[in-house]
Amino acid sequence: MPDQLRFFGSTQPPSRPLTWGDGVVLLGVIALLAVGIRLALGAPAAIAGPTISLAPSALPWYAAYSVGRMAAAYCLSLVFTVSYGYLAAYHRRAEYILLPLLDVLQSVPILSFLPVVLLSLSAVLPQAVAAELASIALIFTSQVWNLTFGWYQALTTLPEELREASRVFRFNGWLRFKVVELPFAAISLVWNSMMSWAGGWFFLMAAEMFTVGHRDFRLPGLGAYLQEAAHRGEGSAILWGIGSLVLVIVLLDQLVWRPLIAWSDRFTLQLVERATPPTSWVYAALRSSRLLRHFVDSVLSPASERLDQWLVRRFPPPLHPPRASAAQIWTWRVLGTVAACGLLYGTYHAALLLFAVPLAHWGMIGLGILATLLRVGVSLLCAFAWTIPVGTVIGTNPSLAAWLQPLVQIAAAIPATALFPVLLLLVLGLPGGLHLAAILLMLLGSQWYLLFNVIAGARAIPQELRYTAALLRLSSWQRWRTLLFPALFPSLVTGGITASGGAWNASIVAEYLNFGGRSLQITGIGALITEATAAGDYSLLLAATLSMVFTVVLLNRAVWRPLYRIAEQRYRLA
């Protein structure tokens, strides 16, 4: 667990000033949304969804569907991560655009794009194919930024002695990747993969149970099963669905992630072996298997050596630093010109759609932004209120952490969207009704980011500082003011940024929903986006989505970035 906590806050990009690349990226987001809206104009007015069976015998198939979508999105994320990270780390010109692009996209509420993506794909593809591709794209965008930042930071922080060794041995690009870069980044990639996979469950459930008006975009899976069970009020089916989801999460943890954690520990750069290295019964069984060892020695190792030899012959290491040829330079210029033309075209059509939005609708958008911002603020305050004391206790008490952390990990991996139908059954009759349910869903979608970052900050406090505080006999308040809060502050900022994004995302499914045969909605930008989709008001949809995107990016720049700089300058343990 210490490794996981160390890397939980590792992928937040360093604070940097605004550049021209940020402007290009924001225009690109506007252009993409405009193109999606144009395609959405041809979407069918009514879309029939699949028939969801509540029989327990259907759950294994639904679980397989859900895990398959997650796996497809994760494989795409890995391919994108390696390629994108290489370009950003080793090509300085590309870095000017690629880093701002990552910085903006990781700040954008992903679910705000779900209606646009679903409608645009439904206009050009069969409904089943469009819904599947949209769900995979949504999960991909929820997983990939975290992985890409981790991979990019590993490439840019690679120790100079390892770079020098690769040059001395004249490694080509493939051997440098296999022998130097991938092992150095292995631990970060494994732990960030766990984070990305856990976050992907939230968006998978949202995609599987998404319905808007007469358009039913649901997919056969655990999310649609839970929604259908709550819709019919079948308590036993709800328990079967939640139990199946928990079982899948536990099995993946034991059969996939724990073995990977134990395997990746071999790549730790340290001089002293750990007292308690990570263990896995699956990994221990695989290592002791003679059959597997024979397969590796007789099949995998020879095949790997032949691949290495072929790639070395095909791509020999350069004798001199490579220079771009005239053809490559002109290719990049042509691609840049085409991209600029596409950017201008999309921006022009976005402007036309935005000018068509009546002034009264802009007032609704402003009111919706304020209402959702208030709910996000309340959910963050609630999250801070309980995660700071609980996370500090877990992080500073190893014996308590030994049995609490696995429970917390399982609870964090259960997506809030899976519990939302159950939550609605419990709170709709209470004072506040849907308002309370929306805040609770935002809380469920954001609190775990904070909790794990608080645990990380508490575990990172040097033992000598704890001993000093004990020797000085500081009171509880003095200990919090002089030791715990300064040590936790960077983790609180990092957790606050990610938790805020989780709360904004949850507003899309929390403020407007179909439940019990009727539509329920409250004032908010998430409800406005979903309502515009249901009504086919694409100008309002674009205006509301862009307003939400700009609000989140502005909050990150105006609130979280200054706090992040304070954490870097004043509260860094170094």
pLDDT, tens digit, 9 for 90 and up, residues 99-126: 667 766 666 666 666 677 777 777 677 7
Report the amino acid identity of residue 11.
T
Distance CA 3, CA 454 (A): 14
Which pLDDT tens digit goes with each residue over 522-542?
889 988 888 887 777 878 888
CB 336 within 8 A of CB 93: no
| 60-64, 270-274, 428-432, range with greatest mean pLDDT | 60-64
Q: Which residues contact 5 (CB under 8 A, 6 or more apart)?
A: 395, 452, 455, 456, 459, 460
SS3 455: helix
Tokens of 376: 């996000």
Q: What pLDDT is attached to residue 340? A: 79
| 47-51, 101-105, 188-192, 412-416, range with greatest mean pLDDT | 188-192
Tokens of 299: 């099949």
Q: Which residues contact 475 (CB under 8 A, 6 or more apart)?
A: none
Of all residues in the chain, what percent carry a pLDDT higher than 70?
78
Q: Is the pLDDT of residue 42 over 60?
A: no
pLDDT greater at residue 418 or residue 287: 287
Write out 375-408 in H/E/C secondary structure: HHHHHHHHHHHHHHHHHHHHHHCHHHHHHHHHHH
Q: Which among 122, 113, 102, 117 has a CA at the least distance from the CA of 546?
A: 113
CB 225 within 8 A of CB 248: no
- Which string of DSSP letters, residue by residue, matches 64-89? HHHHHHHHHHHHHHHHHHHHHHHHHH
Furthest CA-CA distance within the chain: 74
Say which range, 34-38, 75-79, 539-543, has the weakest mean pLDDT. Answer: 34-38
Say which range, 38-42, 382-386, 410-414, 535-539, has the weakest mean pLDDT. Answer: 38-42
Report the amino acid identity of residue 109.
P
Q: What pLDDT is attached to residue 174? A: 83
Q: What pLDDT is attached to residue 314? A: 78
Of all residues in the chain, what percent carry a pLDDT higher than 90?
7
Distance CA 538, CA 36 (A): 10
Helix axes 20-40, 92-105, angle to 10 degrees: 60
Q: Bin 516: left if φ > 0, else alpha if -120 < ψ < 50, else beta.
A: left
> Which pTM value belongs to this model?
0.72
Q: What pLDDT is attached to residue 4? A: 35
Q: Is the pLDDT of residue 87 over 70?
A: yes
Q: Which residues contact 496 (CB under 8 A, 6 or more apart)?
A: 380, 384, 450, 560, 563
Distance CA 44, CA 50 (A): 16
Q: What pLDDT is attached to residue 2? A: 35
Q: Which residues contact 6 (CB under 8 A, 6 or more apart)?
A: 456, 459, 460
Strands 512-515 vs 215-216: parallel, antiparallel or unpaired: unpaired
Q: Is the pLDDT of residue 565 over 60?
A: yes
User: Across residues 58-63, what is the average pLDDT?
Assistant: 90
Distance CA 18, CA 30 (A): 18
Q: Which among 377, 362, 376 has a CA at the least distance from the CA of 544?
A: 362
Q: Is 463 exposed, middle or buried (0-12, 13-18, 19+ CB in 10 A)?
A: exposed
User: Across residues 402-417, what is the average pLDDT?
Assistant: 71
Say which range, 364-368, 435-439, 465-469, has the weakest mean pLDDT. Answer: 465-469
Instruction: State the Rg of the chain over Cα.
Output: 25
Distance CA 12, CA 4 (A): 15
CB 491 within 8 A of CB 9: yes
Q: 76 pLDDT band (50/70/90 cuts)? A: very high
Q: 10 pLDDT band (50/70/90 cuts)? A: very low
Bridge partners of 514? Answer: 519
Distance CA 14, CA 130 (A): 37
Q: What pLDDT is attached to residue 554? A: 85
Helices (H), 265-358: 281-287, 290-295, 301-314, 326-355
Which pLDDT tens digit goes with each residue over 188-239?
788 778 777 877 887 787 778 766 656 667 788 888 888 788 777 787 888 8
Q: 1 pLDDT band (50/70/90 cuts)? A: very low
- Torsion of the alpha carbons at 186, 189, 194 and 196, rounded to the nearest 10: -170
**Residue 427: Cβ within 10 Å count:** 18
Q: What pLDDT is attached to residue 74? A: 92
Q: 305 pLDDT band (50/70/90 cuts)? A: confident
Q: What pLDDT is attached to residue 381? A: 94
CB 135 within 8 A of CB 69: yes
Q: Is the pLDDT of residue 179 over 60?
A: yes
SS3 47: strand
SS3 169: coil
Q: What pLDDT is attached to residue 370? A: 94
Say which range, 35-49, 141-155, 156-170, 369-383, has the weakest mean pLDDT. Answer: 35-49
Bridge partners of 513? Answer: 520
Report the amino acid identity of residue 487.
A
Q: Cα–chain-centroid distance for residue 288?
A: 35
Q: What pLDDT is attached to residue 306? A: 87
User: Across residues 44-71, what is the average pLDDT?
Assistant: 81
Tell me what the pLDDT averaged over the chain comes to.
77
Say which range, 124-128, 180-184, 271-275, 374-378, has the weakest mean pLDDT. Answer: 271-275
Distance CA 526, CA 438 (A): 10
CB 260 within 8 A of CB 282: no
Q: 324 pLDDT band (50/70/90 cuts)? A: low
CB 489 within 8 A of CB 567: yes
Helix axes 485-510, 561-570, angle to 10 degrees: 160
CB 544 within 8 A of CB 525: yes
Task: Quickly tell me which residue has 């071999």 as its tokens.
Answer: 266
